[in-house]
Chains A and B, each alone.
Chain A
Amino acid sequence: MTAAPPLIPTEGTSMSTHETGGRLNVPGTPIFDGQTSRRGLRLNKMLMSFRSAENRERFAADEAGYCTEFGLAPEQTQAVLDRDWTAMIDLGGSIFYVYKLAMMDGRSMQYLGGVFTGMTEEEFQAELRAGGRRDG
């Protein structure tokens, strides 16, 4: 039996529960906050529309036209057409919404994890099986 460790080992960072104003900064961690969601609203609405098979077909028939219909910004449309997953996140996509497009392409969440971390899907999967990735 060891002595109970502190709830969370701290590194001298602020522990305030009620900080307001400044944005959260956790390295390597996109925070899907209100400003991000504002930026991504049109993109996320389009991705949400892929719940219906009919819409998936219409998108497949004319991807750029479908993006225009939903009012995406040009760089958002480009990210969708290029399947630039990192750019979609940077331009306001929520990972749960972006994943809908990945699923249509037959891509897994491990594939996306590999893209976000510069690994192949297999390498990323192996890191998860080995117990997951840590900070740093």
Chain B
Amino acid sequence: MADVLWGLATSHVPSIGAAMDRNKTEDPNWKDLFDGYAPAREWLAEHEPDVAIVVYNDHANGLDLDIVPTFGIGTADSYPVADEGYGPRQVPDVIGDPELSLHLLESLVDEGFDLTVFQELEVDHGLTVPLSVWTPDPGDAWPCPVVPILVNVIQYPQPTAARCFALGQALGRAIRSYRDDVTVGILGTGGMSHQLAGSRAGFINPEFDHMWLEKIETDPEALARLSREELIREAGSEGIELIMWLIMRGAMHEQVTKVHSHYFLPASNTAAGIALFDNRTA
């Protein structure tokens, strides 16, 4: 039986990728962030899964606003790295796992989650920065194939936190019903609190973020009860993307073991968080 090996929640701020791409990880403005990643990276290097699922959102690179799918899944052999306006990041293209994608899709549709199918998709920092957080030096290839799951967090109404958590739970069941005996790493990306526009731009809420970091482990149902309005008010208009962490968490067991977490600000305009959980039952 396939199962989730670990879950990694992480911000996907573009400047984190840029700091790595430009060798600025020892820069005083960044050092604490990357030092904070180190224990997670060490553990992850020793626990390589067969395949990873990355839950993320696109930022005007792979999709535009003609079509705004609430949830989507990539089913391609590979996903080119998008040019976001200054040339693509110099990181490997992302290899897909279409067979797993199609299995997940069918299981999820059977459970009432009607995901939009992406047969072609260019992936942006929302997906590649979390891969870099996991694997700073991928060389020619990322550690394993990737299944992208997309969530609309840009245009209101975003899916509710409750719906994201339920999707995660269905995703967990779909993974466990896969015929192959594969291990899966799941990444929930985005956040933490931030707001980019309006007179409240620059808003950051560390109290909320610390609450979120704790509850994502111990009481995700409580987070799943937050309304969109509460999320926008407390986490900022862009911080609402934290709902994607709930998809990751829903796919994991009720009890997980925290391997490591770290909180840092600011990464550009954003509070950045990382939380790594071992899904194996002791």
Contact = CB atoms under 8 A, between A and B. Distances in A.
Interface of A: 5, 7-8, 14-19, 24, 26-34, 37, 40-41, 44-45, 47-48, 50-52, 56, 89, 94-97, 99-100, 103-104, 108-110, 112-113, 116-118, 124, 127-129, 131-135
A37 B200 contact: no
B60 A128 contact: no
B266 A129 contact: yes
Contacts of B211: 5, 7-8
A114 to B, nearest CB: 9
B202 A124 contact: yes
A109 to B, nearest CB: 5
A110 to B, nearest CB: 7
B265 A128 contact: yes
Interface of B: 29, 59-61, 64-66, 68, 82-86, 154-157, 160, 162, 193-206, 208, 211, 215, 222-223, 225-230, 232-234, 236-238, 265-266, 268-269, 271
A48 B271 CA distance: 26
Contacts of B199: 27-28, 116-118
A128 B227 contact: no
B156 A26 contact: no
B64 A45 contact: yes
A132 B202 contact: yes
A37 to B, nearest CB: 5
Contact of B215 (A7, A94, A95): A7
Given A33-B155, A124-B202, 9 more contacts: A17-B162, A29-B195, A29-B198, A34-B155, A44-B60, A48-B60, A117-B201, A132-B265, A133-B202
B222 A28 contact: no
A113 B271 contact: no
A56 B83 CA distance: 13
Nearest to B84: A51
A31 B85 contact: no
Nearest to B58: A96
